[in-house]
Structure 1
Amino acid sequence: MELRHLRYFVTVAEERHFGRAAARLHVTQSTLSTQVQSLEREVGGPVFARTSRRVELTEAGELLLVEARRVLAQADRALSVARCSVNGEIGEVRIGFAGVAVLEGVLPADLRRFHQAHPCVELTLIEQPPAAQIQGVREGTLDIGYSPDLDLDDVGDLVLTRRAGTSLSIAVRRDHPLADATTITATDLMDEKLIVVAADEGDETLLARLQITPGEHSAGIHLVSGSLAVLALAAAGVGVAVVPAPTERITLPDITYRPLHATPTGLDVVTLSRPDELSGPVRAFLGTSVGTES
């Protein structure tokens, strides 16, 4: 039994007339009669009692009408759901992110634009370091990553899109000597214990940007896993924290921020995604963001 047979049957049942039903379906009356006869052969008996003026449902036809309407409604819903998914209107987008993407405003802006256009799509956010985002996008546990361009040496199989650039700052206790300095360079940090966010204990990418070699930095380096941990240690006077400049939006009682000048480069916020993405919602999300692929 085909859905077409059920649609023809329901239309005839509603019109109680083959001619009107055929016109409504945009088919010939002979074609409609043939399809109904095919349905009746599958049922094993008549579903209509035909007269010269009118068509009435048999008892089997009355029962079939109830079930046929249910089947057609479910089929229409299944098609609608599939179309909505292809168009990015329903489904889920799983996003890995680093704190700098939030503080820089890139991720919140993208989320807002997408949610306004696709309010029925579920957005799942997971805070992760760059290496974990790369792995998640590759393995399919994440759809998109928002990351600083650190520890991204081997991402040739992914699409990397630059979204924003930012500079670096230092965060220190208000009573630290550097708190009153107007100009701070990497050279000024050579005698300071540095606190740096790192994905793991071996991640020293930011230090390389500052042209600081851990083994040659006599004051020591403290690698931690998150922005708040960096600020907590700086507020405790453990050392000087090197942070992306947008971190200055986080206000803590004992912390002051100063710009870090004369560094070779700052940081870029990038998005990571898969080439040839198949998910409609993910493609729609990527379409709402604006950046430069590399």
Structure 2
Amino acid sequence: MDLRHLRYFLAVAEEKHFGRAAERLNIVQPALSMQIKALEAELGGALFIRTSRHVELTEAGLLLQAEAQRTLDQVEHTRLAVERSLRGETGRVRVGFAGNAIFSGKMTGDLRRFHKAYPDAEIVIQEVAPQKQVEAILAGQLDIGYTPDNSTTSVAAIRVQKAGSWEIMVAMTDDHPLAGHACITVEMLAEQPLILYDAHDTHEQVYLMFAQRLGDSFRVAHRSASTLSVLAIAAAGLGLALIPAPVQQVNIPGLLYRRLDAPEMMANLVIISRVAEPSNAVTAYLEMAVPTVL
């Protein structure tokens, strides 16, 4: 007994006529009659009471009708569930982010579009330091990361896709000697205690450019993986923070932002993920997010 037998049986049970059932199934009547007889032989008894005008279900036939319908409904449910999974409409997407991803609006925009298109997919969002996102993805704890590009992303198993770039701003207290300048040059930052993100390690482009321009007068006083921590340290007067332009949306009493006159130094944001991605939901998310990359 297979699914075809059940569909044939239900067609006859519903039409109460072999000819109409055969027409509905788009097969010839003798072939349908043969299939029903084979089903009855396999089950060991009659399923229909046949007359010259129509057929009626036996007691066993009534039982099979209910079970066959339930079976075919479950098969259809399974088919649709698998198809939705293959299209990425269900499943789970775990997204890690560094603070810049929030302030730029890139990640939140991607999440809104994905949730609208795939409302049944589960989305898990958590803040993860840039230096730890690659490790989390490779360990299967995270699927997608929004992070400034850094030395940890240069891994063969990790796909890196550009998500945007912005000019660098300098955050400082409103009573700092440089606060009167509308624009800060790199040379003005010589000997100044600077506050950097952890992502700006000694191999990262921004760090290397500052080291080259300032030489021995390049001073890194503090580092942090958290945007709010970077701003808090700057607001406390412990140094000047180098931040991506979107972060200036954060209003902290006593803290102001000035543009850095260094167009060659840009803060960037990338989307990282596995090169070999087994999840259809994650793949669907990436396909939606990547075409909008700046």
Q: TM-score under structure 2 normalisation? A: 0.88
Q: Distance in 1 between matches of 2:35 and 2:238?
A: 83
Contact 2:148 2:199 in 1 (8 A): no
Q: Distance in 2 between matches of 1:56 and 1:275?
A: 59
Q: Distance in 2 between matches of 1:220 and 1:10?
A: 77
Q: Distance in 1 between matches of 2:203 and 2:224?
A: 11
RMSD between superposed Cα atoms in Å: 2.7
> Cα 1:197–1:204, aligned 2, differ >3 Å: closer, same or farther?
farther
Counterpart of 1:251, as a letter, is N
Tell me whether 1:15 sits opposite 2:39 in the alignment.
no
Counterpart of 2:5, as a letter, is H
> Cα 1:101–1:181, aligned 2, differ >3 Å: closer, same or farther?
same
1:107-161 C-alpha deviation (Å, 9 max, x unpaired):
1222223233223222222221233222233333322222111234523333221
Tell me whether 1:106 sits opposite 2:72 in the alignment.
no
Who is 1:268 aligned against? 268
Post-superposition shift, 1:75?
0.7
Contact 2:174 2:255 in 1 (8 A): yes
> Cα 1:29–1:276, aligned 2, differ >3 Å: closer, same or farther?
farther
Post-superposition shift, 1:213?
10
> Cα 1:147–1:153, aligned 2, differ >3 Å: closer, same or farther?
closer
Q: Distance in 2 between matches of 1:274 and 1:93?
A: 13
Post-superposition shift, 1:66?
1.3
Who is 1:121 aligned against? 121
Who is 1:26 aligned against? 26
Q: Distance in 1 between matches of 2:83 and 2:278?
A: 13
Who is 2:78 aligned against? 78
Post-superposition shift, 1:71?
1.2
> Cα 1:38–1:129, aligned 2, differ >3 Å: closer, same or farther?
farther
Listed as ranges, the gaps of 5+ residues in structure 2 are none
Who is 2:232 aligned against? 232
Comparing 257-266 with 220-229, greater Cα deviation is found at: 257-266
Q: Distance in 1 between matches of 2:202 and 2:130?
A: 10
Contact 1:210 1:263 in 2 (8 A): no
Who is 1:222 aligned against? 222
Aligned length: 292
Who is 2:164 aligned against? 164
> Cα 1:4–1:209, aligned 2, differ >3 Å: closer, same or farther?
farther
Contact 2:130 2:225 in 1 (8 A): no
Q: TM-score under structure 1 normalisation? A: 0.88
> SS at 2:178's partner residue?
helix
Q: Distance in 1 between matches of 2:213 and 2:153?
A: 19
Q: Distance in 1 between matches of 2:2 and 2:106?
A: 50
Comparing 203-212 with 117-126, greater Cα deviation is found at: 203-212
1:165-187 C-alpha deviation (Å, 9 max, x unpaired):
11111111112222222232333
> Cα 1:44–1:114, aligned 2, differ >3 Å: closer, same or farther?
same
> SS at 1:180's partner residue?
coil
> SS at 2:179's partner residue?
helix
> Cα 1:214–1:48, aligned 2, differ >3 Å: closer, same or farther?
farther
Taking every aligned residue pair, what percent have the same amino acid on both sides?
42
Contact 2:172 2:255 in 1 (8 A): yes
The runs of at least 4 aligned residues of structure 1 exceeding 6 Å deviation read 212-215
Contact 2:150 2:199 in 1 (8 A): no
Q: Distance in 2 between matches of 1:215 and 1:5?
A: 82
